[in-house]
Amino acid sequence: MRERVIDAMTTNETLWFRDVHPFEIFKQVILPELALRQKHTLRIWSAACSSGQEPYSLSMALQEYLWSKPGGLPLGAEILATDISASMLKEAQSGVYEAASLARSLSSERQQRFFEPQGQGLWRAKNEIRARVQFKEWNLKQSFGALGKFDVIFCRNVLIYFSNELKQYILRRFAAALQPYGYLVLGSSESVAGCTDLFDMVRIEPAVVYRPKIK
Ligand SMILES: C[S@@+](CC[C@H](N)C(=O)[O-])C[C@H]1O[C@@H](n2cnc3c(N)ncnc32)[C@H](O)[C@@H]1O
């Protein structure tokens, strides 16, 4: 019952490589930069991951980065994917999608490279893509303390549904959860403006990302 109420109250709309640029920036700017100063396994958080398209897109982008730069992340990288919806997480964790769902926004090249057919029009993300993603049920209204620190947080297309007060509260805690020099990536219609001054805006054309201010 609780699950049905949550699903009815929230939109789970998502896409592979949604808006394209955040994932290109992740692969071409953020990962190479973080790799230069890597002192631990990189931790990436997909906060509000819906049915898994965002964390698996991050994992594919990471894999493409590693292919272009073998040994580029000697200490590795892991992705934590959280959502409030248990049913979305179950779907995400299976890594299985209908061909039509893949075709909505994933190139056929990436589909062939990163998924394998399961029969009956279903495809499953390959083990190398699933293995670095861990799923956990998490309400963004909860404390993040138990999740540890992150190098990159993707929190896209969910804060728009929250009150300004709740947004401020969550953004403050994102700032605390990020490593110095970490990155926060929001949805293309979202911004920290008017909510907090804890972040610097970094323009990486054609998008904008955020970094916690260094005190
Ligand atoms: C529109 S989807 C966005 C998915 C993905 N981030 C993207 O941009 O494609 C919003 C997701 O936020 C989740 N959500 C809503 N309220 C939440 C909360 N309080 N804590 C965690 N997740 C929440 C929903 O279950 C849904 O999966």
- Using a 6 Å cutoff on CB, does residue 158 contact ligand 1? yes
The pLDDT of residue 4 is: 62
Judge if the beta carbon of residue 157 lies within 6 A of ligand 1: yes
Ligand 1 pocket, 57 CB below 6 A? Answer: no
Q: CB of 107 closer than 6 A to ligand 1?
A: no
pLDDT by residue (tens digit) across 152-168? 999 999 999 999 999 99
Q: What is the residue extent of each domain of the chain? A: 2-94+126-212
Closest Cα to atom 17 of ligand 1 = 84
Q: Please write the tens of the pLDDT for every residue from 168-188.
A: 999 999 999 999 999 999 999
Distance 78 CA to ligand 1 centre (A): 20
Distance separating alpha carbons of residues 163 and 184, to the nearest angstrom: 19
Q: Is the CB of 88 under 6 A from ligand 1?
A: yes
Counting ligand 1 atoms within 8 A of each CB, the residue from 50, 106, 139, 185 with the most, and so the one to mutate, is 50
Architecture of the CATH domain 2-94+126-212: 3-Layer(aba) Sandwich (3.40)
User: Which residues of the chain have a pLDDT value below 50?
Assistant: none
Q: pLDDT value at position 68?
A: 97
Report the nearest-CA residue for atom 25 of ligand 1: 85
Decide whether any atom of ligand 1 lies within 6 Å of the 89 Cβ: no
Binding site membership of 50 for ligand 1 (Cβ less than 6 Å): yes
Answer yes or no: is the C-beta of 48 below 6 A from any ligand 1 atom. Answer: yes
Ligand 1 centroid vs 48 CA: distance in angstroms? 4
51 pocket-lining for ligand 1 (C-beta < 6 Å): no
> What is the reported pLDDT for 83?
97
pLDDT value, residue 5: 58
**167 pocket-lining for ligand 1 (C-beta < 6 Å):** no
